[in-house]
Structures are given as C-alpha cells and as structure tokens.
Amino acid sequence: MHKREVRVAFQRCFHHLPTVVAAVALTASAARARADDGRRPVDDDFPVQSKGALAVDAGLVLALPATWQTGLSSGIGAGVTRGGRFAWGVRGSWSSATESSLVWTVSQNDFRLRGVAALQQPAGRGVFALRLGLGPTFAYEHRTRNQGARAGLTGSDLETSALAVFPAVDLEGVITLHVLGRWSLVLSGGPTALIADGALRGGWTAQIGAGWQP
C-alpha cells in the first residue's frame, strides 16, 4: 500500500472522529442525567445482606474425567468456606462420564473431596478468589463389553467394575457475584492434577452455581 493510500485512509477515519466523540459524550451525559433524574443505585434495588464469614455454594460441575484424557464429566458439587480475605473450607463433587470404544462402553464416576484454602478480594458486589484444593478423588469405573449381552455373555465377561482413589490438587479461580439478599452467583474453574499409576495427569474442572452467605 502506498503512503498516499495510507494517508487517505487515516483522513477518512479521523474525518468521523468528532462525530464519534460527540456521541460518546452525549451518551455519558445522558446516563448521568438519568441517574440524577431519580434512578437509584442498584444496591438500593437489590440490597446485599450477606456479611458473614461463612459461605456455602452448590452447582453444576463440568470436568475432564479423572483418569481419561477425553470426554466431559458432568455432575454436581458443593462446598463451604469460612473466613475473610483468607478462607478455608471443604468441598465435594460428583460427576460422571460415559464413552465408548469398539469393544467397551465405560462409565466413570468421579467423587472429589477437597480441603480448600482461598485468598479472596471483594470488589463491589463481587468477590474474586483464588482457591487451592487438596484431597482424594475416588473414581468408580463400570465397563460393559459391547455386543456382550447380545452374544449371551454374563458375569465378569460382560461387565466389570473397579474403584480407585488418587491424590489430587485443584487450583481454581472463583468469582462470586452477590445478587440479592444472601444469595449469589458463583463461577469457578481451573486446572487440576492427580497422580495415577505413578504419573501426574492434568485436567480441568469448572462449576457454575448459587451461593449463600449468612
């Protein structure tokens, strides 16, 4: 592109700049005017009453299955924490995933128990937190031999089950948005890791749910 073409393009762009600035200014002043015109702050319409150190939350969990590197495990989770800028607590979740290969249909239920410690930073109606969780993940696996029932297989030839436990760690970012009264919207997610068969396996977990704080 020639310099002349560049210059023309800039001129064409900046030709509309005053119009854009004026529009933004008018919008801002109009918004101020509406606030001044009697619109009350959101805190007045939706007052936050949660002031306590205890926080409880529960919601939908999505995660990578504990010992697979594929699939989506979904379920529910809940937790309770206590504290201010530094909080501690416990959490638990269950999620399940089912996947198939040519030979097997495998369901895996993951039960996660965590002791958690969190650093929290209030910001307006919300709270940002970084939460570290440590604890066991119980994985219950149920395998069904594909076509086995049609072929007349029974017992362990048709189905097998196993339960195993792995040490795990989660690091999650947490956003809590106080909505109304003692209730809040809680979003969290981040990487996870567990040790299985002597190897470190990575994963991720996320939760969306509701919180309650007295």
Q: Which stretches of the chain bind other proteins, using CB under 8 A?
A: 67-68, 99, 101, 103-104, 106, 108, 138-139, 141, 143, 145, 147-148, 150-153, 156-158, 160, 162-165, 196
Report in angstroms how near the CB of residue 145 gets to other proteins at its nearest.
6
| DSSP 8-state class, residue 213 | -
| DSSP 8-state class, residue 157 | G
Looking at the Cβ atoms of 2 and 150, the one nearer to other proteins is 150
Q: Are 108 and 144 in contact (CB under 8 A)?
A: no
CB contact set of 140 (below 8 Å; sequence gap of 6+): 108, 109, 111, 161, 162, 163
Report in angstroms how near the CB of residue 93 gets to other proteins at its nearest.
18
Look-up of token digits 């049609």: 150
Encoded tokens for 164? 């195993």
3-state secondary structure of 146: coil
| DSSP 8-state class, residue 147 | T
Report in angstroms how near the CB of residue 206 gets to other proteins at its nearest.
23
Looking at the Cβ atoms of 25 and 164, the one nearer to other proteins is 164
Looking at the Cβ atoms of 47 and 202, the one nearer to other proteins is 202
Looking at the Cβ atoms of 76 and 196, the one nearer to other proteins is 196
In 3D space, the residue among 141, 176, 183 whose CA is nearest the CA of residue 160 turns out to be: 141
3-state secondary structure of 4: helix
Looking at the Cβ atoms of 30 and 164, the one nearer to other proteins is 164
Report in angstroms how near the CB of residue 150 gets to other proteins at its nearest.
6
* 25 residue type, one letter: A
Report in angstroms how near the CB of residue 60 gets to other proteins at its nearest.
25
Q: Are 178 and 50 in contact (CB under 8 A)?
A: yes
Q: What are phi and psi of 41, to 5 degrees?
A: -60, 155
Look-up of token digits 């396996």: 201
Looking at the Cβ atoms of 18 and 152, the one nearer to other proteins is 152
